[in-house]
Amino acid sequence: MPDTRTFLLEIGVEEIPASYLEPAVTSLAEEIEKVLKDAGVSHGEIKKMWTPRRLVVIIKDIALVNLKKTFEFQGPPARIAKDAKGKWMVQATKFAKSHGADASALYIKENEKGSYVFVKKEVGGKKTTDLLADSLPSIIFKIPFPRRMRWTRYKTVNFARPVRWLCALFGNDVLEFQFPGLTPSNKTYGHRFAHPEAITINHPDSYVQKLKDGFVLVDQNERKAQILAELSKAAKKLGGKLVENQELIDEVTNLVEYPEVLSCDLGGFMDLPREVLQTALAKHQRAFVAEKKGKLLPHFLVVTNAPTLEPELAKQWFERMAVSRLEDAEFFIKEDLRKGLKPLVEEESRVEWVKGIGTLAQKTGWLTELGVSLGAKIEGFNQDTYIRAAHLAKADLLTNLVREKEFTSLQGIAGAIYAERSGEPKEVCNAIGEQYTDLPSSNESAILAISDRLLNIAATFIVGKPAKGSRDPFALRRQAGAIMKIIMDRELPLSLCAALDRTLELIGKGEDKHQAIYEFFGDRLRLFLTDQDFAYDWVDAVLAVAGDEPYDSYSRLSAFRELDKSEEFRFVAVGQKRVANITRNTRELIRNTPSPDSSLFDQKEESNLWEKAERIRPNLESAIEKRDYKKALQLLLSLRSLIDKFFDEVFVMVEDEKIRNNRLYLLAKVRDEFLKLADFSKIVVEG
């Protein structure tokens, strides 16, 4: 077994924003791994860790040198490589020199192109420490950050935050490399306040424990687990259980190095709506709440990054900050309720929704009409409930509460709270509150959510700002994905084309964008279906004939999933490929063709196939009309043996034009039956 070492790289920094950390360390690890792989250096497990003040990569079992490899290089043709006396000519000697070899190492070899000069060259054997030292500076400065800071002293250097130290070890030895203003060492630093002194790391294996001794939990997974455990313990001590907020737990994990949980009192704000309380505490204090029997307890929990802090002093500070924000929220709600939703709806006419498209009032009108149109085909859809909900849906965007930066996430929710306190029916309030979710609980909520996103996507395309490449500033892909999810979850019989037609008709512009938007929805539908673990070729087969109604496509694929393991299914796919191939060059001939003439059948395989196809047609059409795709597929599978016998016994492309065309008509008509369900020729069949 080759001699190996463990490699440690820690980049010590001023506090980096929480959202930057994971992408930064992932990029750092991937780039180092790529360098090792390209150089042929073997290694073991790669460990990625981070805190707000350090980016860390540890790689186990790195070989001391990269593997030696011998490569063969081809040079000039043999005919121009040697003179009449057999001496190597200029072209050959230059070729040898370019590869650092002597002319005596050249040889002639035959290949498929003829005789050529070749030379063998051995590469590798470079020390891994040299490889890393050469590569690390550029790797570090290539780490992607949403925003970077330029250093005053080194004008060409920029990073997310100032780099304060570099700890780099290869086994027991410091790995030195060039870096502006810093020299890598075996020194790191503990918690900024609890252990600011330098810590010596003699070997990467002791790194995690030594930092723990210095009040730093460098492993983010350990930190997260401790935060969750301490929060749950504190909530239990208060007599309730933690209301988990996974997004907030992830954020707090990336804000602290040594978490300590502190319990604080809420005071007299328990009359505030639960959603407002939770949002105010989460956004401003990064605080958690506890509940008992579905009701919030009059306390909140904060995760501090100060293990030596006096709890009572800290508690007073957090409580004062919470009171300040909750007083603001209480004031906003009182003012909004005093004004009411009706005046806010009237104000929408003075607010621009999308420049060049219309006002918020116009969007509200379109939202109402579009939803009524989409809901018309949905069983149990309450039009009156929907119209009222759509009319009030956007009013909360003009409230004091939602316009306050820390409460913008309450749009929709705030509207539902105000609607409820104004005496609106529960169904109307639910629809308003669920318009931004992808898990609506009623058809009225679902149609409001879909209509809102349809208008947003169409307007963004019309003003020329569609999603491109990795750029999607208006989250159009996420909104389209939510539309697909809602349609599937609620089993809604909606046509994308009809919905888009009505959307553009209401806006009154953008007809030239119809195809681009429709294709955008098609791409989102294809991605959604493949994410449901449907094979890509099944998805292609179904969308080729039924891509306009998302839930219909899903239902067809579900029928495929039940029967795809059968031999019949596989052979039908093979048969349809043969049909597609043989009719490929005769599309014009068989387009809109009449039924084949049974009097021209001169083999029983033709008659048997046609008679069976005619016999199952009524039942097939009935099954598809009822969306019983499992039965439809079983009917089509019953044709398999007759199709196979047809191809085994009947030669289609005979000289007699009438018979040849009649056989093509037969195959085309049989294929038409299959196309009522899917284009089976697109299914990939192994072997």
* DSSP string of 223-266, one letter each residue: HHHHHHHHHHHHHHHTTSEE---HHHHHHHHTT-SS-EEEEEE-
Alpha-carbon 121 to chain mean position? 45
Largest separation between any pair of C-alpha atoms in the chain: 107
Asked whether this chain's domains 4-66+127-213 and 556-682 adopt the same fold, the reply is: no
Residue 468 in this model has a pLDDT that exceeds 50: yes
**Torsion angle, alpha carbons of 140, 145, 147, 153, to 10:** 0
Residue 1: the pLDDT is: 45
**Calpha distance 550→552 (Å, rounded):** 5
The DSSP secondary-structure symbol of 135 reads H
Task: Report, as an integer, the average pLDDT of 9-29.
Answer: 96
pLDDT per residue as tens digits for the range 580-608: 777 766 655 556 666 888 899 989 999 99
Q: Which amino acid is at 274?
A: R
The Cα–Cα gap between 396 and 206 comes to 55
Number of Cβ atoms within 10 Å of the Cβ of 627: 16
Q: What are phi and psi of 549, to 5 degrees?
A: -110, 105
Looking at the domain covering 4-66+127-213, what would its CATH class be? Answer: alpha beta
- Apex 327 CA angle, 322 and 331, nearest 5: 150
Instruction: Decide: 207 and 201 in contact? Cβ < 8 Å.
Output: yes
For the ranges 466-470, 581-585, 663-667, the lowest mean pLDDT is seen at 581-585
pLDDT(194) > 70 = yes
Question: Using CB atoms within 10 A of its CB, is residue 399 exposed (0-12), middle (13-18) or buried (19+)?
Answer: buried
Question: For the residues of 192-213, what is the DSSP string, one character each?
Answer: TTT--SEEE-SSGGGHHHHHHH
Q: Taking the domains of the chain in order of start, what are their residue ranges? A: 4-66+127-213, 72-122, 220-339, 345-531, 556-682
pLDDT value at position 83? 86
The pLDDT value recorded for residue 665 is 87
What residue spans of 495-626 are helical by DSSP H?
A: 496-507, 514-531, 536-546, 550-563, 567-583, 587-590, 604-625
* Contact by Cβ (8 Å): 673, 620: yes
3-state DSSP: the chain helix, strand, coil percent, rounded to 5?
A: 55, 15, 30
Topology of the domain comprising 556-682: Isoleucyl-tRNA Synthetase; Domain 1 (1.10.730)
User: How, if at all, do strands 149-150 and 158-159 pair?
Assistant: antiparallel
pTM of the model: 0.80
**Exposed, middle or buried by CB within 10 Å (0-12, 13-18, 19+), for 302?**
buried
What number is the average pLDDT over the span 162-180? 95
With a cut of 60, say whether residue 458 has pLDDT above it.
yes
Mind listing the pLDDT tens digit for each residue in 245-290?
A: 999 999 999 999 999 999 999 988 999 999 999 999 998 899 999 9
Asked whether the predicted pLDDT for residue 366 surpasses 90, the reply is yes
CB 67, CB 39: distance < 8 Å: no
Q: Which residues does residue 85 pair with via DSSP β-bridges, in sequence order?
A: none
Average pLDDT score, the chain: 91
Highest mean pLDDT pick, 65-74, 262-271, 616-625: 616-625
Distance CA 678, CA 572 (A): 12
Question: Would you say the C-alpha torsion 277, 280, 285, 286 has a positive or negative sign?
Answer: positive
Q: State yes or no: pLDDT of 681 exceeds 90.
A: no
Count other Cβ atoms within 10 Å, centred on residue 293.
6
CATH class of 345-531: mainly alpha
Task: Yes or no: say if 24 and 55 are a contact pair by the CB < 8 Å rule.
Answer: yes
CA nearest neighbour of 482 among 518, 528, 519: 528
Predicted local distance difference test score (pLDDT) of residue 568:
62
Rounded to whole angstroms, the Cα distance separating 605 from 276 reads 73
